[in-house]
Amino acid sequence: MNWSKQFRIKPGRAVRLADRDAGWTDGFKDKDDALDALRENVALMSELQNLLYAERKHALLIVLQGMDASGKDGTIRHVMSGLNPQSCYVRSFKQPTPEEMGHDFLWRIHHVVPARGEIGIFNRSHYEDVLVVRVHDLVPRAIWKRRYDQIKAFEKTLTLNDTVILKFFLHTSRDEQRARLQERLDDPAKRWKVAPSDFTERKYWEAYQEAYEEALTRCSTSAAPWFVIPADHKWFRNWAVSQVIVETLKGLNMKFPKPTYNPADIRIT
Ligand code: ATP
Ligand code: MG
């Protein structure tokens, strides 16, 4: 089964999030079944990362987006846990600094994209500039409206220069967000994760869903596809993200580079 296809948004297809079940878990008997599959994928990702690094032909950029408490941090913790930190890093994008604000919105993004051989993971991304910025009118409509085309052109440039881009929208339901926010309030080990603003932000749920729908619809391209991952069940989310990464890396048909010397000629003294 090609799972990537299952979650991928076909270019030009209008996305309606309400029609997609955030609690979908097809393909598994139970949670343990999925945990086994995740463990296998984590091991495969480690091997494939090693090949990516050795070959240095492609960079891999993984973009994670989703509502508050959708599990961006958890995905990084559980799915990326087997990766070698030597050629992998995470960038989190918060409110832009004054210096970043002085530049175009892609400036802070472009200089931290992964190099060939590396895996870069974005916890939030340039999409915030058509999400939070749109929902809260942080710039005039005419300005954010132009950004979809700029994002597509930027991502096209990256892919034409050997960067493989995978963009994951962690699709959670409003009820699940409520439960997770409540849990963060109740659990002393999780309280640090929430700020009062997370609770007020929830009021903008519909506006965010609309903003996401437009971003997913307009910016899912064959070169840089969006994947909508059912994310109400953490175990399914983790497996699904790992599965798309594994399928994509396998599809690159990577090979270890041939040595530029004849190993038989070398005598180790
Ligand atoms: P966590 O809460 O799990 O630690 P987070 O990504 O929510 O992670 P916060 O510091 O809570 O981190 O929030 C970062 C905030 O920065 C988010 O509300 C996000 O929408 C905002 N942000 C990111 N990029 C931009 C941008 N370009 N313009 C304005 N706000 C942005
Ligand atoms: Mg937050």
Contact 36, 103 (CB under 8 A): no
268 lies in some domain: no
Q: Is position 21 within any domain?
A: no
pLDDT at 250 (0 to 100) = 98
Given this model, what pLDDT does residue 27 score? 86
Nearest C-alpha to atom 28 of ligand 1 is from which residue?
95
Q: Which of 90, 94, 122 to mutate to test the pocket of ligand 1 (most atoms within 8 A of CB)?
A: 94
**Does 131 reside within a domain?**
yes
Spans in the chain with pLDDT lower than 50 = none
- Tell me the ligand closest to 132's alpha carbon: 1
**Residues in CB range of 94: below 8 A, 6 or more apart:** 124
Domain limits for position 41: 3-16+29-252
Give pLDDT, residue 209.
Answer: 98
| Residue 143: predicted pLDDT | 98
Q: Is the CB of 201 under 6 A from ligand 1?
A: no
* Residue 52 belongs to a domain: yes
CB neighbours of 240 closer than 8 A, spacing ≥ 6? 3, 7, 227, 229, 230
Q: Give domain status of residue 72, yes or no.
A: yes
pTM metric for this prediction: 0.97
Residue 257 lies in a domain: no
Closest Cα to atom 10 of ligand 1: 94
Read off the tokens for 165: 């881009």
Q: CATH number of the domain at 79, please.
A: 3.40.50.300
Residue 199 belongs to a domain: yes
Number of separate domains in the chain: 1
Residue 68 CA, ligand 1 centroid: distance in Å: 9
- Strands 59-66 and 119-123 turn out to be parallel
CA-to-CA distance for 91 and 238, rounded, in angstroms? 19
